[in-house]
A and B are shown apart, each in its own frame.
Chain A
Amino acid sequence: MVTVYQREPGRGPGLSRRALLKGSGAALVLVVTGSAVISPQQAWGVEPAALNPETMATLIQMARDVYPHDHVADRFYAIAMKDHDTKAGSEAAHKALIEAGIADLDQRAGEGGYRGVGWEEDRVKLLQDIEATPFFQAVRGGMVVGLYNQKDLWPLFGYEGESFSQGGYLTRGFDDIEWL
C-alpha cells in the first residue's frame, strides 16, 4: 500500500518533521530518504511499496515533464504515479516495465541520471526518444485519468465539477460573460 503523506501542522501521521527536514538542504525538489520520496518545501512524501523509491522519484519528475502544469504541485503527480506502484505490487511484469523503463531513461541521461538533467526541454528530448515504448505509453496513458480525474485538481483549472446539488448554473453564471 502506497501512502502519499500530506503534512498537517502539529499532528501526525505522515513523515516526521525530522525526516522532512533531513533532505531540505539538497538542491533537488524531490528527495529520496530511506523508503520514501519527500518534498521538503511542500511537506508531503510518498512511500512506495513495490517500486524502488529512486524509481518513484524519477517517475514523478517524468510525469511532470509529460504533462507539465506549472501551477500544479508535485503531489498531484505523485498521486497519479501511485497506481504504478500498486500495480507493480501485484504484477511482476508491470514492476519490471517501470523499473527497466526508468533505468533506461537514467542511462540515456548519462551521469546524474534523468533527474540530474536541468532543463525540461532536454528531458523532453529524452522522452521523445522513448515515446513509442510501452513504458512511456503506460506512464502517459495512465495519467489521462490518474492526473486529470483528481477532483482536488479541478479548481486549479477553473473546472467546478458536479453542479446538480447546487441547482445547476441557471442562477449561477451560465450566461455571465461580459467581455464580448
Chain B
Amino acid sequence: MPAPYALTDDSVVVIIGSGAGGGTLANELAQKGVDVVVLEAGPRIEYEDFINDEWDSFGQLAWLDNRTTSGDWRVSKDFPNLPAWIVKAVGGTTTHWAGASLRFQEHEFKTLTNYGPVEGANLLDWPITLADLEPYYAKAEDKMGVTRTNGIEGLPGNNNFKILKAGADKLGYKDCHTGNMAINSDFRDDRMGCQQTGFCFQGCKWGAKWSTLYTEIPKGEATGKLEVRPDSHVIKIEHDDTGKVTGVVYADKDGNLQQQKARIVAVAGNSIESPRLLLNSASSKYPDGLANSSGQVGKNYMRHTTGSVYAVFEQPVHFYRGTTMAGIVRDEARHDPSRGFVGGYELETLALGLPFMAAFLNPGGWGRSFTSALDKYDHMAGMWIVGEDMPQEKNRITLHAELKDKYGMPIPDVAFTDHPNDTAMRNHAYSQGMALYDAVGATRTFPTPPYPSTHNLGTNRMSESPEDGVVNQWGQTHDIANLFVSDGSQFTTGAAENPTLTIVALAIRQAEHIANEMSSGTI
C-alpha cells in the first residue's frame, strides 16, 4: 500500500519529479527500505487513459506552463513559448519518450580529453567512466526490458524501418537494426508486447513501452515505503543555518502552499525546471541560488544536435504505422573529426501523424512547396538525427526578469544558439540522411529543422572539481551534502545517444550511494 507520510516527517527523502530519474530513484530507494515522498507537478493519468490523437494527447500530457526563449535557435522564432516538448504528469517524459535505450560510448565520458579544447565550447570530462556505469547500465536494461539485451528479441521492423535499412545497405552502413528499445517485443514484467499502434509519443495505451508510471512507481508503492503526490508543484527548497536543506515548499492540487520536511531532497524536474528551482530557492545564505557556488547552475544547456529528414517515394509507405522509433543507423555515432566536427550522431526512424507533420515539417512554411509535400503524406518515410552538441555557457536557463507563474515564482527563459560544431554535424547528417533515401528512390527529400527539445541536458552538470560543475559523481551537489540532482541535468556532456537509459543507470547508482550514506549516518 502507498504510505502516507506527514508533512512534518523529516526522515523522508523528498524526490521532485517522477520521470526516468525521479521515478527510478524512488523505487530503488523504497526497495531498500528508505521512506520516500515523490512530489510530481502534474496529474496522475493511467495508461488506459492515454489518447491516440496528437493534439488531444499534447493537451493531456505536455508541460504547457509559460516559458520564454532566446538565442538564435529557430525554435525561439517558431515556438517562442514552447522550448521543450516534455511531459507534466506522473511518469514524466517516460510517458512520451520513444523508448530508444543506448549506452554511451567510452570516449563520450571524456570529451575534453578525446576531442581537445573546442573554441566556444565548455567541454569537460565526466568524473565517471563507462566502466563505472556498465554494471548500472546492465541493471537498467534488465529493469526496462531493452531489446537486444538480456536475451530479449528485437522488435519487428515496420515499413519506415525497411526503407531505412534498404538505404543503409545501399550506402554501405553496417550497423543498422530495429534498435535497443525499452518496448516489449513479447510479454515481460507483467506488461504485454508492442502492438505496433504508432502512438508511442502519445503514451503507450498497452503499457508495452517502459514508463515509470506503470513500472517503478507502483512497484515502489507496493513496498509501503513510497508516497507519490501528484499535482504538487515544488516552488522552493528550504535550508537551515548550517546550509543543509530541510524540506520543500510546494503548491498542492488546490493551489495551497504546503511545506514538506525532508532528510534529503533530490531534484528531478528535467533540465529546465531543476535549475529553475535551484535558482528560485536563493536565500541570504545562497544569494545565487542553491548549489551554485560554481556559477554553473542553469548553464551548459544541451538539447542534442537534432533535425529530421523526410522523403517522398513513388509508392506508399504508411510510415505512421507501428513503432515511432523503429530502427537505427549507428555508423555515424563514432568520433571522427575527418567529417569536419567532433562527436557523432545517430539516425533513428521517426514518424509523425498528419497534424504534427503539418506543424513541424517546416514551421511557418506555406504555399505549394509545403502542401505538395503533405499531399504525399502516405508516401513518406522519415528519420530523426540525434547527435552530441557542444556545452556552451551562454546556452542556459535563467529566471525571467519580469514574468512570474501563478505562484509568483519567476518563469524560466531558455537560451540556445548552435555551436559551429553543431551546425556542421547537422549539415553532415542532413546530407547523409538525404543520400540514404535517394539511394532507395526518393523523389523528394526534406531537411527538417529541430523540434522543441525532447532531450534537455546539462544544466546542473557533474564535475570532479566543485569549481567546474554543480554535482559530484553521485549527483550529490558539491555545496550541500543532502541535496541531490537525479535527472539529465547532471550530464557533463550529452553524447550522441538518447539520454533515458543513462538517466536510469545514474539513478540506480545514486540510490545505492544515498542508501549507504544514510546507513552510515553521513547524511
- Over the window 297-330 of chain B, the binary record of Cβ atoms lying under 8 Å from chain A Cβ atoms (1 yes, 0 no) is 0000000000000000011111011100000000
- Over the window 125-155 of chain B, the binary record of Cβ atoms lying under 8 Å from chain A Cβ atoms (1 yes, 0 no) is 0000000000000000000000000000000
- Interface size, chain A (Cβ < 8 Å): 35
Binding stretch for chain B, among A1-9, A32-40, A143-151 = A143-151
Query: B195 touching A170 by the CB < 8 A rule?
Result: yes
B69 adjacent to chain A (CB < 8 Å): no
Question: Out of B157, B358, B375, which one reaches A144, CB within 8 Å?
Answer: B358
Considering the complex, give the chain A residue whose CB is closest to the CB of B364.
A140
Considering the complex, give the chain A residue whose CB is closest to the CB of B380.
A158
Q: Give CA–CA (A165, B197) in the complex, Å.
A: 10
Q: Closest approach, in angstroms, between the C-beta of B223 and any C-beta of chain A?
A: 32
Query: B159 touching A148 by the CB < 8 A rule?
Result: no
Query: A161 touching B163 by the CB < 8 A rule?
Result: no
- Over the window 65-84 of chain A, the binary record of Cβ atoms lying under 8 Å from chain B Cβ atoms (1 yes, 0 no) is 01111010000000000000
Question: Out of A124, A157, A158, A175, which one reaches B159, CB within 8 Å?
Answer: A175
Query: B374 touching A157 by the CB < 8 A rule?
Result: yes
Given that A148-B354, A157-B377, A180-B166 are known contacts, is A168 also in contact with B195, CB under 8 Å in the complex?
Answer: yes
Query: Which residues of B have CB within 8 Å of A69?
Result: 371, 374-375
Q: Give CA–CA (A145, B195) in the complex, Å.
A: 28
- Over the window 118-159 of chain A, the binary record of Cβ atoms lying under 8 Å from chain B Cβ atoms (1 yes, 0 no) is 000000100000000000000010001101110001100111
Q: Closest approach, in angstroms, between the C-beta of A144 and any C-beta of chain B?
A: 5
Query: Which residues of B have CB within 8 Å of A164?
Result: 52, 197, 199, 205-206
Pick the most buried of A71, A164, A170, A173: most chain B CB atoms within 10 A of its CB.
A164
Q: Which of B186-208 contact A (CB under 8 A)?
A: 194-199, 205-206
Query: Which residues of B have CB within 8 Å of A168?
Result: 194-198, 206, 322
Query: A158 touching B196 by the CB < 8 A rule?
Result: no
Query: A149 touching B55 by the CB < 8 A rule?
Result: yes
B118 adjacent to chain A (CB < 8 Å): no
A111 adjacent to chain B (CB < 8 Å): no
Query: B355 touching A145 by the CB < 8 A rule?
Result: yes
Considering the complex, give the chain A residue whose CB is closest to the CB of B165.
A180
A167 adjacent to chain B (CB < 8 Å): yes
Q: Give CA–CA (A74, B318) in the complex, Å.
A: 26
Query: B367 touching A148 by the CB < 8 A rule?
Result: no
A177 adjacent to chain B (CB < 8 Å): yes
Question: Out of B206, B354, B358, B367, which one reaches A124, CB within 8 Å?
Answer: B367
Q: Closest approach, in angstroms, between the C-beta of B310 and any C-beta of chain A?
A: 14
Query: B197 touching A180 by the CB < 8 A rule?
Result: no
- Over the window 373-416 of chain B, the binary record of Cβ atoms lying under 8 Å from chain A Cβ atoms (1 yes, 0 no) is 01101110000000000000000000000000000000000000
Query: A66 touching B199 by the CB < 8 A rule?
Result: no
Query: Which residues of B have CB within 8 Å of A177?
Result: 159, 162-163, 315-318
Q: Give CA–CA (A67, B354) in the complex, Å.
A: 14
How many pairs of residues, A versus B, come closer than 8 Å at their CB atoms?
A: 113
Query: A159 touching B195 by the CB < 8 A rule?
Result: no
Query: B52 touching A161 by the CB < 8 A rule?
Result: yes
B424 adjacent to chain A (CB < 8 Å): no
Query: A67 touching B370 by the CB < 8 A rule?
Result: yes
Pick the most buried of A161, A165, A170, A174: most chain B CB atoms within 10 A of its CB.
A174
Q: Closest approach, in angstroms, between the C-beta of B439 and any C-beta of chain A?
A: 12
Query: Which residues of A have CB within 8 Å of B317?
Result: 177
Q: Give CA–CA (A174, B196) in the complex, Å.
A: 7
Q: Give CA–CA (A172, B359) in the complex, Å.
A: 27
Q: Give CA–CA (A22, B316) in the complex, Å.
A: 43
Query: Which residues of A have CB within 8 Å of B166?
Result: 180
Query: Which residues of B have CB within 8 Å of A165?
Result: 52
Question: Out of B53, B197, B371, which one reaches A169, CB within 8 Å?
Answer: B197
Question: Out of B198, B364, B370, which one reaches A163, CB within 8 Å?
Answer: B198
Query: A175 touching B359 by the CB < 8 A rule?
Result: no
Query: A175 touching B198 by the CB < 8 A rule?
Result: no
B480 adjacent to chain A (CB < 8 Å): no
Query: Which residues of A have CB within 8 Å of B158?
Result: 169, 174-175
Query: A157 touching B322 by the CB < 8 A rule?
Result: no
Considering the complex, give the chain B residue whose CB is closest to the CB of A179.
B315
Q: Give CA–CA (A2, B371) in the complex, Å.
A: 27
Question: Out of B53, B315, B370, B378, which one reaches A158, CB within 8 Å?
Answer: B378
Q: Closest approach, in angstroms, between the C-beta of B209 and any C-beta of chain A?
A: 12
Query: Which residues of A have CB within 8 Å of B364?
Result: 140
Query: B366 touching A66 by the CB < 8 A rule?
Result: yes
Query: A68 touching B367 by the CB < 8 A rule?
Result: yes
Q: Give CA–CA (A149, B59) in the complex, Å.
A: 14
Query: Which residues of B have CB within 8 Å of A163?
Result: 52, 197-199, 321
Query: Which residues of B have CB within 8 Å of A160?
Result: 318, 320-321
Q: Give CA–CA (A147, B371) in the complex, Å.
A: 12
Q: Give CA–CA (A57, B195) in the complex, Å.
A: 45
User: 6 closest A-B pairs (Cβ-Cβ)?
Assistant: A158-B378, A168-B195, A168-B197, A174-B322, A148-B358, A162-B52
15 further interface pairs, Cβ-Cβ under 8 Å (given A175-B159, A180-B166): A67-B370, A67-B371, A68-B368, A145-B355, A148-B359, A149-B55, A157-B374, A163-B321, A168-B198, A169-B197, A170-B196, A172-B321, A174-B159, A176-B159, A180-B440
Which B positions have Cβ atoms within 8 angstroms of A? 52-53, 55, 156-159, 162-163, 166, 194-199, 205-206, 314-318, 320-322, 353-355, 358-359, 364, 366-368, 370-371, 374-375, 377-379, 440
A-B CB contact pairs (8 Å), 22 listed = A66-B366, A67-B370, A68-B368, A69-B371, A69-B375, A140-B366, A144-B358, A148-B374, A158-B318, A159-B353, A159-B378, A163-B197, A164-B206, A165-B52, A168-B197, A169-B196, A170-B195, A172-B321, A174-B196, A175-B158, A175-B159, A180-B440
